[in-house]
Amino acid sequence: MTWTPEDRAPRRYVDTAKAVRRGLLVVYTGDGKGKTTAALGLLFRALGYGHRVAVVQFIKGQWQTGEAKMAKALADRVDWFTLGDGFTWLTQSYEQDVASARRAWAKCLELLADPTYQLVILDELNYVLAYNFLGVGEVLEGFSRRSPTTHVVTTGRDAPPALIAAADLVTEMRKVKHPYDAGLKAQPGLDY
């Protein structure tokens, strides 16, 4: 790696005496693997501090994932809601997908209004916005009404520009290489 003068420039540090704490909006997007995985890493970090956590999955239906199985074991500490009908290319019904997204969004608004949640993960919300199942303005308005200390994390490809602009932290996962490209199936415990 070649270092530039900008890389060596002193970093700007926050004056911790003046720093504020508030709930952040975090967006994990991009075509690479790891968006939900990163969000679940934050879930475990929050649990380590005794925080109350909720997860709403917008697209995944009753597909058995390792994270949903683990959430059952953590049911006293994690509120988990899988509210989708399955991947949209399986339902083939835009109206049904919109109705499912609306039901999931109603649950999200309920969770966001509850000040006891320190972290609410909205898994696959970015897809819902990209496919116009929900309007980004409506979602951002809902986020603005959340408890001031609640962190919100969204995942999924194609996060809309307005969501990215509103976010405090955006990470784009970029695919460099993926086993699907070599014809390998998704692996339990790694991919789901």
Element (H, E) at 155: strand 151-155
pLDDT bracket for residue 1 (50, 70, 90) = low
Residue 172 has pLDDT above 80, yes or no: yes
- 6-40 pLDDT, tens digit per residue, is 666 666 676 776 666 899 999 999 999 999 999 99
**Beta-bridge partners for 52:** 117
pLDDT bracket for residue 180 (50, 70, 90) = confident
- 99-124 pLDDT, tens digit per residue, is 999 999 999 999 999 999 999 999 99
Is 46 inside any structural domain? yes
Is 121 inside any structural domain? yes
Q: Which residue has the tokens 């996060």?
A: 159
Burial class for 169, CB neighbours closer than 10 Å (0-12, 13-18, 19+): exposed
Is 191 inside any structural domain? no
| Residue 167, domain extent | 20-174
Q: What percentage of residues in the chain have a pLDDT greater than 70?
A: 86
Can you tell me the distance from the alpha carbon of 103 to that of 165, in angstroms, rounded to the nearest whole number? 26
Is 113 inside any structural domain? yes
Is 163 inside any structural domain? yes
- pLDDT of 184 reads 84
Is 117 inside any structural domain? yes
Per the CB < 8 A criterion, the answer to whether 59 and 127 are in contact is: yes
CATH number at residue 28: 3.40.50.300
Sheet holding 78-82, edge to edge: 78-82, 52-57, 117-123, 151-155, 25-29, 169-172
How many domains, the chain?
1
Please choose, from the candidates 105, 99, 100, 104, the residue with its C-alpha nearest in 3D space to the C-alpha of residue 142: 105
Is 63 inside any structural domain? yes
Is 180 inside any structural domain? no
